[in-house]
Amino acid sequence: MKALLVIDMLKDFIDQDGVLTTGNAGQEIIAFINDKIAEFRKNNFPVIFVCDNHEQDDKEFDMFPAHCIADTKGAEIITQLSVEATDKIIKKRRYSAFFGTDLDLYLREKQVDEVHLVGVNTNICVLYTAADARNINYQVTVYKDGVASFNEQAHDFALEEMKNTLGCQIV
Ligand code: ZN
C-alpha cells in the first residue's frame, strides 16, 4: 500500500506574501500536487497533509524567521488544495514528519510500506522526512515536479542525495 505525503503546502511557505515563501518555485508545483492528490484518492490510497506547526518561541526560530505558528493564518494549508474529511493531518515542529508525531503508527495501521512525497522544501522537510522514512524501511518515491525550494542549488543537491545516499526513487 502506498500513501501520499503533502509536505508543508502552507501559506507561510507557498503564498507570495508568506514569511518564508518559496516564491514562484512553490507556486509552480501546486497543479501537479492537486493532480497527484486526485490520483491517490481515486485509488483509495491515504492522503496525508504534513504541516509545520510551531510554538511562539520555537527553537527553530534561532535559524529561521518565525513561521507557521499554531493557530495563525501562515500555518494554514493553501486554499488551492482541498482537504477532505478522510485525509490525515500531521502537525510537526521539526523538519521530519516522523519526529514527535504519530505518522509511523498511522502508516502501519494502514499497512503502508511505500510513501510518496510532494511539497516543500526539497532540501529541508522533504529531505529529512525521506531520511527518517528510509531509516525505518519505507520505500520512498519523490516527484521532482512536485517538490520545490527557496534555494534552487540546495533543491538539486537534495534530489541527488535522496537518490544516491538514501535510495529513494526520484521520478
Ligand atoms: Zn518550521
Query: How much distance in Å is there from the Cα of 25 to the middle of ligand 1?
Result: 18
| CA–CA separation, 45 and 41 (whole Å) | 6
Query: How much distance in Å is there from the Cα of 79 to the middle of ligand 1?
Result: 19
Q: What is the pLDDT of residue 101?
A: 98
The predicted-structure confidence for 111-122, as pLDDT tens digits, reads as follows 999 999 999 999
For the chain, which domains are there? 2-170 (3.40.50.850)
Query: How much distance in Å is there from the Cα of 94 to the middle of ligand 1?
Result: 6
For residue 40, what is its C-alpha cell? Answer: 491517490
Query: How much distance in Å is there from the Cα of 6 to the middle of ligand 1?
Result: 15
Q: Is 117 helix (H, G, I), strand (E, B) or coil?
A: strand
Q: pLDDT under 50 in the chain at which residues?
A: none
Query: How much distance in Å is there from the Cα of 43 to the middle of ligand 1?
Result: 31
Query: How much distance in Å is there from the Cα of 2 to the middle of ligand 1?
Result: 26
pTM score, whole prediction:
0.98
The predicted-structure confidence for 50-72, as pLDDT tens digits, reads as follows 999 999 999 999 999 999 999 99
Query: How much distance in Å is there from the Cα of 65 to the middle of ligand 1?
Result: 9
Query: How much distance in Å is there from the Cα of 160 to the middle of ligand 1?
Result: 23
